A and B are shown apart, each in its own frame.
Chain A
Amino acid sequence: MTFLPFARKVGAATLAALLLGAAPSALMAATPADTLVIAAAIDDIVSLDPAEAYEFSGLDVVNNTYDSLVEINPTTLALEPGLAESWSVADDGLTYTFKIKAGLTFASGNPVTAEAAAYSLQRAVKLNKTPAFILNQFGWKADNVDTVITGAGDTLTLKVDKPFAPTFLYNCLTAGVASIVDAETVKTHDVGGDMGNEWLKNNSAGTGAYVLTSYKPNEGIILTARPGYWRGDAKIKNIFVQHIPEAATERLQLEKGDVDIARNLTPTDIEGLTGNKDVTVQSDVGGQVYYLSFNQKNENYKNAKFLDAARWAIDYQGLADTILKGAVIPHQSFLPQGYLGALDDLPYKLDIEKAKALVAESGIKDPTVTISVRNNGVYPDLAQSIQNTFGQAGIKVVLKVGEGAEGLKEYRARQHDATLQTWGPDYPDPNTNSSTFAENPDNSDAAKATGYLAWRNAYDPGEMTAKSQAAALERDPDKRKAAYEEIERTHQTTSPFILMFQQARQTGLRSNVQGFYTGGAVDSVAYWLATK
């Protein structure tokens, strides 16, 4: 009985509190002037230790908190000196010498030395986290890295096990895993010989324009600018990346001005933003390529006429203009735009009559293709369009729609018939895609060479394997470019891979935001040039 008046009081108080709290909230529409607020999905982050970070959001942070010996210019995407002011390679192509710039310091104030650079690369190899393979390619292993990577004073010496193309090494040195860390600081945070790995998950110790102030998984990242950055001080003091996984929510916040940048908008959102003068949309490319591949365990898929028919039976432009609008651009070779040697021409287009004729010439009666497709994103729509145009050309398509991980398992075991997939390059050098699409040293089942996409499709690229391997060793940059172009052309017309699209990225910006560079297909975002 005494409960009733009490309950009434509590109820009234609660309601009053709720109303009071709700009313003044609209006051804070604009973002703080010294902070760039970015809405993005950051749930892909595993670690912010540069030796471990290997996901888009993690590498975005690493790119702004650390630098490498060689850097990619955020505006031109060309190679330029980073923490090293110059470098040279010995005549035998096996020894590289880097001269470290004088007067640079880490965020802690410690000087940047060749010893710190050597420690950073040794550390990444010894920790042997996911991206370590980028460095392993040069013969750097945990047991030899102390002798092949040495630093003293301002001179860093790197010894490689094969006379690689110098551009191959330089490109790989721009990757996040080759970032230079503050050795002295990191060593003080060593726990049980982890070389500061645990500590660097949530802290930064680099030379970058920003310092990591806070990282809360699935919530947000805060970066704070540090004065005296060697490429010029950051224009905006704080970066706040807020985890907003839902695109429609991102759009709403961008329209309201509660965020300055929205990075995961869908084509529908972008369309809804046209005509809004407070918002601009910036388009550029990402590194992923979309392809359809046929497993050559099925003899039909060794038939050149049949593969050619398939290439003429896809509506590349139509798809890019409709269901994939804004998400892709047509692209028909395995090196994405922005990579050394990438081909930009588009030799194939939808031509049903030509495809029909080629099917007839192939001699395969009533061909049926089973395409494995993952059940999310644009894949089901894309597959249905291919099913439709293949059907018109006389190729029956059965779609096998399933969960992504399951499809991948089947693909790695070479049990698919055909599959619709994307591939993202691992580091900004053409070898990353050339080695996987155009090399297959051992096509036997026993090889289990699942890292090679060619092997997964039981495709023996013949002399292309050797040509691609040779291109990784070609020391003349022009010849190297030409070598990849030649491999791509052969691959484009003879392999069981049909490259269709390259990923496009659309970023929504408040119209006062300038100088936001996402890094295109080869690099990560550069926050320090942004203004608002």
Chain B
Amino acid sequence: MAELSDTPAQPHAAVSFLKQTANTVCSLLITFLGLLAVTFIIARIVPVDPVTAILGERATGEQIATLRTKLGLDDPLWQQFLIYIRDVFHGDLGLSIRTRDPILSEIGRYFPATLELSTLGIIIGIFIGIPAGVLGATKPGSWRDQIVRLIGLMGYSMPVFWLGLMGLLLFYGHLGWVGGPGRLDSMYEMMLDMKVKPVTHMILIDTALAGEWDMFRNALSHIILPASILGYLSMAYISRMTRSFMMNELGQEYITTARVKGMPERRVIWVHAMRNVAVPLITVIALSYANLLEGAVLTETIFAWPGLGRYITDALLINDMPAVLGGTIVVGAVYIGINMFSDFLYRLADPRAK
């Protein structure tokens, strides 16, 4: 069979692969351009004058006019937009108004902290959310199902701000099980630069690479609470969706067939049904991961986490619009990236999608 189809199929497969890649790149470009257009328009309609934001309260009229010209704000809008696109594609997101540093390098410092926190959060969310959802689906209406639903509901409805503070109060303040706000205890924070070379800017990975295991453990004790809170939020969503996907699958005929054939129930659920549940679940997980990446602002504020969400919020509060837009573009790009990646996994998991 394979030998027969091999020769004629190959050019065909290559063409279709190229076509697919071209399609993907095209849709990626269009989405990204749309993102740029939206951020550009937002920057122009917010009532914050970049010039006075840079020059401050005491600027004279003459200083204002000079800077307007320098920033190209007197050029026609379409021209400004083209320049903006050109700069972004050259990796130039502009300078932060506050620090006058390139925004891209600032984001390069903050984004890994968010990535690390959200990744751990989504891992916790997946490892608890999926089994919890399955548990609910196999015994719908049972007390176990009710508990899973209640915990999920709480995750949906409790404000993360409150949850974070209460978590800190209990686990850090009273019980002392976890480290406090920040990425490390102050003692380790002071030694960090001397002992650990920033390779990825992700503290768990960097400390592990440097072999500083005390520091690693301390970092873990600091990240575990905020990551668990993020994990709890995504767990709530993932478990609800898993439950409903799984219930749907368990009603299918092939499941009945498998059971009739005497297959153990665990195998029926985790192998047969899960394979089909996994397909839509990938999208759910990708979406909640993307949500954590962009939406960890409050968690980052409470836990004094130097991440991207807080960077954008801080910038917003002082009207540092270039930084806000730079951050938005990066978050948008990551969002697009995660979606693409989930598409890819989707194809891998579901043969029909090929």
> Is A405 within 8 A of B53, CB to CB?
yes
Enumerate chain A residues within 8 angstroms of B101, measured Cβ to Cβ.
Answer: 217
> Is B221 within 8 A of A242, CB to CB?
no
Knowing A22-B221, A403-B47 are in contact, say whether A14-B186 is a contact too (CB < 8 A).
Answer: no
A242 to B48 CA separation, bound complex (whole angstroms): 30
> Is B186 within 8 A of A252, CB to CB?
no
A246 to B299 CA separation, bound complex (whole angstroms): 11
Knowing A17-B220, A22-B178 are in contact, say whether A46-B185 is a contact too (CB < 8 A).
Answer: no
Interface bits B103-126 vs A (CB < 8 Å: 1, else 0):
000100110000000000001100
A258 to B186 CA separation, bound complex (whole angstroms): 8
A133 to B57 CA separation, bound complex (whole angstroms): 12
Enumerate chain B residues within 8 angstroms of A31, measured Cβ to Cβ.
Answer: 186-187
Which residue in B48, B187, B319 is a CB contact (below 8 Å) of A35? B187
Knowing A17-B220, A18-B224, A451-B58 are in contact, say whether A255-B178 is a contact too (CB < 8 A).
Answer: no
> Is A218 within 8 A of B311, CB to CB?
yes
User: Does B80 count as interface, using CB distance less than 8 angstroms?
Assistant: no
> Is B303 within 8 A of A249, CB to CB?
yes
Knowing A220-B189, A249-B303 are in contact, say whether A22-B168 is a contact too (CB < 8 A).
Answer: no
A403 to B173 CA separation, bound complex (whole angstroms): 36
User: Does A497 count as interface, using CB distance less than 8 angstroms?
Assistant: no
Enumerate chain A residues within 8 angstroms of B185, measured Cβ to Cβ.
Answer: 28, 258
> Is B190 within 8 A of A240, CB to CB?
yes
Q: 8 Å CB contacts to B: which residues of A202-218?
A: 214, 216-218
> Which partner residue on chain A sits nearest B59 by CB separation?
A450
User: Does A222 count as interface, using CB distance less than 8 angstroms?
Assistant: yes
Q: How far is the CB of A161 from chain B (nearest CB, A)?
A: 19
A133 to B193 CA separation, bound complex (whole angstroms): 37
Enumerate chain A residues within 8 angstroms of B302, measured Cβ to Cβ.
Answer: 246, 248-249
Q: How far is the CB of A454 from chain B (nearest CB, A)?
A: 15
> Is A405 within 8 A of B48, CB to CB?
yes
> Which partner residue on chain B sits nearest A41 by CB separation?
B314
Q: 8 Å CB contacts to B: which residues of A29-50?
A: 29, 31-32, 35, 37, 43-47
> Is A22 within 8 A of B48, CB to CB?
no
> Is A14 within 8 A of B218, CB to CB?
no
User: Does B71 count as interface, using CB distance less than 8 angstroms?
Assistant: no
Enumerate chain B residues within 8 angstroms of A45, measured Cβ to Cβ.
Answer: 99
Interface bits A390-403 vs B (CB < 8 Å: 1, else 0):
00000000000001
User: Does B195 count as interface, using CB distance less than 8 angstroms?
Assistant: no
Which residue in A15, A18, A46 is a CB contact (below 8 Å) of B100? A46
> Is B181 within 8 A of A244, CB to CB?
yes
> Is B306 within 8 A of A218, CB to CB?
yes
> Is A14 within 8 A of B100, CB to CB?
no
> Is A217 within 8 A of B221, CB to CB?
no
Enumerate chain B residues within 8 angstroms of A249, measured Cβ to Cβ.
Answer: 165, 168, 180-181, 302-304
> Is B176 within 8 A of A26, CB to CB?
yes
A214 to B186 CA separation, bound complex (whole angstroms): 13
Enumerate chain B residues within 8 angstroms of A245, measured Cβ to Cβ.
Answer: 301, 304, 310, 314
> Is B49 within 8 A of A409, CB to CB?
yes
User: Does A139 count as interface, using CB distance less than 8 angstroms?
Assistant: no
* Residue among A216, A253, A259 with max Cβ neighbours from chain B (10 Å): A253
Which residue in B106, B110, B220 is a CB contact (below 8 Å) of A21? B220
A11 to B56 CA separation, bound complex (whole angstroms): 53
> Is B177 within 8 A of A409, CB to CB?
no
User: Does A24 count as interface, using CB distance less than 8 angstroms?
Assistant: yes
Knowing A218-B306, A255-B173, A258-B186 are in contact, say whether A4-B224 is a contact too (CB < 8 A).
Answer: no
Enumerate chain A residues within 8 angstroms of B129, measured Cβ to Cβ.
Answer: none
* Residue among B60, B124, B221 with max Cβ neighbours from chain A (10 Å): B221
Knowing A25-B179, A46-B98, A252-B172 are in contact, say whether A32-B186 is a contact too (CB < 8 A).
Answer: yes
Enumerate chain A residues within 8 angstroms of B139, measured Cβ to Cβ.
Answer: none
> Which partner residue on chain A sits nearest B49 by CB separation?
A409
Enumerate chain A residues within 8 angstroms of B311, measured Cβ to Cβ.
Answer: 218
User: Does B332 count as interface, using CB distance less than 8 angstroms?
Assistant: no
Q: 8 Å CB contacts to B: which residues of A221-270?
A: 222, 238, 240, 242-246, 248-249, 252-253, 255-256, 258-259
> Is B47 within 8 A of A246, CB to CB?
no
Q: 8 Å CB contacts to A: which residues of B283-323?
A: 301-304, 306, 310-311, 314, 318-319
User: Does B222 count as interface, using CB distance less than 8 angstroms?
Assistant: yes
> Is A242 within 8 A of B177, CB to CB?
no
A291 to B10 CA separation, bound complex (whole angstroms): 79
User: Does A78 count as interface, using CB distance less than 8 angstroms?
Assistant: no
> Is A217 within 8 A of B177, CB to CB?
no
A405 to B319 CA separation, bound complex (whole angstroms): 8
Enumerate chain A residues within 8 angstroms of B270, measured Cβ to Cβ.
Answer: 4
Enumerate chain A residues within 8 angstroms of B186, measured Cβ to Cβ.
Answer: 31-32, 35, 37, 240, 242, 258-259
User: Does B26 count as interface, using CB distance less than 8 angstroms?
Assistant: no
Knowing A22-B221, A218-B310 are in contact, say whether A240-B173 is a contact too (CB < 8 A).
Answer: no
Enumerate chain A residues within 8 angstroms of B18, measured Cβ to Cβ.
Answer: none
> Is B47 within 8 A of A406, CB to CB?
yes
Q: How far is the CB of A413 from chain B (nearest CB, A)?
A: 11
> Is A256 within 8 A of B123, CB to CB?
no
User: Does A20 count as interface, using CB distance less than 8 angstroms?
Assistant: yes
> Which partner residue on chain A sits nearest B177 by CB separation?
A22
Enumerate chain A residues within 8 angstroms of B216, measured Cβ to Cβ.
Answer: 21
Which residue in B61, B110, B173, B314 is a CB contact (below 8 Å) of A252? B173
A24 to B60 CA separation, bound complex (whole angstroms): 58
> Which partner residue on chain A sits nearest B301 by CB separation?
A246
User: Does A88 count as interface, using CB distance less than 8 angstroms?
Assistant: no
User: Does B83 count as interface, using CB distance less than 8 angstroms?
Assistant: no
User: Does A448 count as interface, using CB distance less than 8 angstroms?
Assistant: yes
* Residue among B59, B173, B187 with max Cβ neighbours from chain A (10 Å): B187
User: Does B217 count as interface, using CB distance less than 8 angstroms?
Assistant: yes
Q: How far is the CB of A199 from chain B (nearest CB, A)?
A: 13
* Residue among A218, A238, A243, A448 with max Cβ neighbours from chain B (10 Å): A218
Q: How far is the CB of B83 from chain A (nearest CB, A)?
A: 24
A216 to B110 CA separation, bound complex (whole angstroms): 11
A26 to B173 CA separation, bound complex (whole angstroms): 10
> Is A130 within 8 A of B56, CB to CB?
yes
User: Does B328 count as interface, using CB distance less than 8 angstroms?
Assistant: no
> Which partner residue on chain B sits nearest A219 by CB separation?
B306
Q: How far is the CB of B59 from chain A (nearest CB, A)?
A: 8
Enumerate chain B residues within 8 angstroms of A451, measured Cβ to Cβ.
Answer: 57-58
Q: How far is the CB of A58 from chain B (nearest CB, A)?
A: 11
A133 to B123 CA separation, bound complex (whole angstroms): 54
Enumerate chain A residues within 8 angstroms of B37, measured Cβ to Cβ.
Answer: none
Enumerate chain A residues within 8 angstroms of B271, measured Cβ to Cβ.
Answer: 1, 4
> Is B178 within 8 A of A25, CB to CB?
yes
Which residue in A29, A47, A133 is a CB contact (below 8 Å) of B176? A29
Interface bits B91-104 vs A (CB < 8 Å: 1, else 0):
00000001111000
Task: List, sorted by A's number, 7 A–B pairs whose CB atoms are closer than 8 Å.
Answer: A23-B177, A240-B186, A243-B306, A244-B182, A244-B304, A246-B302, A409-B47
Top 5 A-B residue pairs of the complex, sorted by shortest distance between their CB atoms: A21-B220, A25-B221, A26-B176, A25-B179, A37-B186
Task: Name 15 extra pairs, CB < 8 A, besides A25-B217, A246-B302, A255-B173.
Answer: A20-B220, A25-B176, A25-B218, A32-B187, A130-B56, A217-B101, A218-B314, A242-B182, A243-B304, A246-B304, A249-B168, A403-B47, A405-B52, A409-B52, A451-B58
